[in-house]
A = this chain, B = another copy of it.
Amino acid sequence: MAGLLELLSNNKFVSGQEIASELKISRAAVHKQIELLRKKGYEIQGRRKQGYSLVLRPDLIAPAEVSRRLDKKNLLGREIKYFSELGSTQSRAKEEAENGTPEGLLIIAESQSSGYGRLSRKWASPPLGLWFSLVLRPKLIPSNVPQLTLVFSLAICRALKRFRRINPEIKWPNDIFLGNKKLGGVITEMSAESDGVRWLVLGAGINVNNEIPRSLLDTAVSILAATGGAVDRAALLAGIINDFDAMYRTYTVSGFGGFAAEYNENSLLKGKRVTVDMLGEVISGTVLGIDDSGFLLVKRDNGETRKIIAGDVTLKGW
């Protein structure tokens, strides 16, 4: 199919005969492949005597487009499972993880019918966004897992900055913001014993070329809306995976400490006044940043500095 697409890519008409002889297949087979592409959303014009011309490519993530951009030495993304529509990449990845899939499996969906974020909150996942999950099997104790969420968020920030001249920021622990609107988020789920993770599934949702549901327009934004330009999602995804693959290796060997400074540079919260809800206990204060273990440091008005492991952060005045 790749051969046919290449032949059609020169923005002019190519005759069926030409295609058949180029690809060494029958005219009937050419016709079949054209129909298959059309079903996939490719708009192909057919003119008597002139042949075929590709009018519009669908904006789909072709797994092959992701694959060919991944570093060959990567552990992550060696296997890719792709779905035009899925309940949730996260649920699917968890199933695969539980069934023993090796580390590195990447699940991609064009859209999700029941996408979710942290604390099982619903996550709108219409077509043209980037919704994916990764299966990891790190030698890690559960208490260090939140660090990996931070590294993953940082990888997404890095890739976004390199890819587009935008300045995304991370709202600790796991949201990616652009200006004061949500661009994306990360979720981490695990199966573990007290002293070791069995598997981890890292999921990400990024508003790329997708529409933002009307009800979320005040709080969410897409790259398309923010920059006025659509993004090659396969290229962006490959960029994220390449970055994170390298960072994951570093993390595994050297821990989180080396990422803290960069994370703080990308922090939306640093220096801001916040309220943090920690499973019921609520405190207010000013964020000093995160420490070398990834804990959020909040200086309360009484001068006490709290080291926060997990909590819901609200920015004052938002």
Contacts and interface: CB of A to CB of B under 8 A. Distances in A.
Interface stretch (A28-36, A50-58, A137-145): A137-145
A310 B191 CA distance: 16
A63 to B, nearest CB: 27
Interface string A180-203: 000000011111111110100000
Main secondary structure, interface of A, reads mixed
Nearest to A150: B194
A310 B194 contact: yes
A192 B194 contact: no
A145 B197 CA distance: 13
B118 A193 contact: yes
Given A139-B279, A309-B141, A309-B143, A118 B189 contact: no
A281 B142 CA distance: 18
Contacts of A143: 142-143, 309
A173 interface: yes
A146 interface: yes
A222 interface: no
A267 interface: no
Contacts of A286: none
Contact of A119 (B142, B195, B279): B195
Contact of A189 (B189, B192, B309, B311): B192
A280 B174 CA distance: 30
A149 interface: yes
Nearest to A117: B193
Interface in A239-279: 279
Task: Please indicate which of the listed interface residues A187, A194, A195, A310 has the most CB atoms of chain B within 10 Å of its own CB.
Answer: A194
The 7 lowest CB-CB distance pairs between A and B, nearest first, are A143-B143, A195-B310, A142-B142, A146-B194, A188-B194, A141-B310, A149-B194
Given A119-B195, A191-B191, 14 more contacts: A119-B193, A141-B279, A143-B309, A146-B195, A173-B194, A173-B195, A174-B194, A188-B193, A189-B192, A189-B198, A190-B192, A194-B310, A195-B311, A196-B310
